[in-house]
Amino acid sequence: MPGYCARFCLIIHLTRLVCREAKVKEIDEIRVLSAIALIEYFKNHLRKVYDRFYESDMDRKIKKLIDWMQRHVNRISYRDCYRNGVAGCKHKKDAEPLFNEFVNRGHGELQDNTLTLFT
């Protein structure tokens, strides 16, 4: 984000001048630090957007499954999964590949048709 720091400094400073919160016409250290904080804020949100933008459908389903399991004693059976519509599962055949991928990614283990989340 080169060049944005100076732009944000100017915007912040001019806004403060218009609101009569600043009397000096030069940009001081506080405005520069404010601009840097604003840039960091935008960079953090940009990272979040990019992470979600390149997520696969399976990534989203795994996240939904983990969220559900964390709210419900860290375990789920095939039946619980499709009866509660977790991650869009409507039948056992929808839950099986999800459970297998969950185990392959190292999030938990599958025993006796019950998936357990590693904590």
- Using one digit for the tens of pLDDT, what is the confidence trace for 11-32? 999 999 999 888 888 888 989 9
% of residues, the chain, pLDDT over 70: 98
Local confidence band at 1 (pLDDT 50, 70, 90 cut-offs): low
Same domain, yes or no: 47 and 77: no
CA distances from residue 48 to 1, 42, 44, 68, 101 in whole angstroms, order as listed? 16, 10, 7, 21, 23
Same domain, yes or no: 40 and 71: no
H-state helical runs in 54-91:
57-71, 78-83
Q: Does 2 score more than 80 pLDDT?
A: no
Count of domains observed in the chain:
2
Q: Which helix (H) or strand (E) is 109 found in, with range?
A: strand 108-111
Local confidence band at 51 (pLDDT 50, 70, 90 cut-offs): confident
Q: What is the domain range of residue 113? A: 57-117
Same domain, yes or no: 65 and 101: yes
Taking alpha carbons only, the member of 81, 1, 73, 32 closest to residue 12 is 32
pLDDT by residue (tens digit) across 73-109?
889 999 999 999 999 999 999 999 999 999 999 999 9
Same domain, yes or no: 26 and 65: no
The set of residues, in sequence order, having a beta carbon less than 8 Å from that of 25 and lying 6+ positions away, is: 17
Is residue 87 within 8 Å of 101, Cβ to Cβ? Answer: no
Give the pLDDT score at 69: 93
Count CB atoms within 10 A of the CB of residue 116. Answer: 16
DSSP category for residue 118: -
Give the pLDDT score at 107: 95
